[in-house]
Amino acid sequence: MKLFISQIFILLVSNVLSQNPSIKVLDTDFSKGRLQNVQTITLNDAVKLHGHLCDGLVVGFLGLKEGLYKLYPDSIIDRTNNRIVSKPSPCLTDIAIFMTGARYQYNTYYVSDSIKYQFIVQRIDNEKTYGIKLKPGLMPTAIDSLGRLATKGELDACGIDSLRKLESEFSTFLLSKNPQDLFIIEEIKNYKWLPVLKGNFLKTDVLNKKLQNCLPR
């Protein structure tokens, strides 16, 4: 049974990675350079930064891509011209800095658990701002309930594997849909950038790193 679950998971991950959405961005061309380096970044690139594929990474990539297209409707995404607030999820925070170019130390990025969106992203030059969140009812409730148990250390090895499978299935579902049908993207008028700097958020994707493998019953 354990081998079967592992094989199913490998197939799901392979399917997700093969779909690999992308976005074209603009950066400077060296450490003191000009703004002329056009490149394409992908979900697979984000996986390498983050360390693994998960549903949160897929949600973040697809949602933020749609939001950035709203900020830059007639031009390429300028990664030197954005500010962003994200929820404290490890997946969302990594996606936020990766896709926007924003950074904590330059006062263009911070984390908040009190915003009603997953991201609030602002274009610096014109201060146009959008809030981005997944539409309610799309994420299976079991992912939330099992995730809370895992965060508290109350999910056993086999339960962790079940959660992993659910997240992979949800990722496949998301990538099979038109992202415009998945997210609520709302313009926020007169948004003021007032960063709240905190460093005590819980990094939930490493809490179970020493958990043993699920053994056959």
Digit-coded pLDDT (tens) for 61-107: 999 999 999 999 999 999 999 999 999 999 999 999 999 999 999 99
Query: Quick check: is 185 in a domain?
Result: yes
CA–CA dist 100, 118 (Å, integer)? 14
Query: Quick check: is 85 in a domain?
Result: yes
CATH number at residue 32: 3.30.1330.130
CA–CA dist 144, 1 (Å, integer)? 25
Share above pLDDT 90 across residues of the chain, in percent, rounded to a whole number: 81
Query: Quick check: is 205 in a domain?
Result: no
- Residue 164: is its pLDDT beyond 70? yes
Number of domains the chain contains: 1
pLDDT, position 3: 53
pLDDT, position 16: 57
pLDDT, position 9: 47
The more confident residue out of 78 and 10 is: 78
| pLDDT digits 0-9 by tens, 177-186 | 999 999 999 9
pLDDT, position 1: 52
Q: Which of 133, 134, 138 is nearest to 173 (CA)?
A: 138
pLDDT, position 215: 86
| pLDDT digits 0-9 by tens, 103-129 | 999 999 999 999 999 999 999 999 999
Query: Quick check: is 96 in a domain?
Result: yes
pLDDT, position 15: 58
Helix axis angle, 43-50 to 2-19, nearest 10°? 130
Query: Quick check: is 127 in a domain?
Result: yes
pTM > 0.85: yes or no: yes
Can you give the residue range of the structural domain that contains 140?
Answer: 2-198
Amino acid found at 201? F
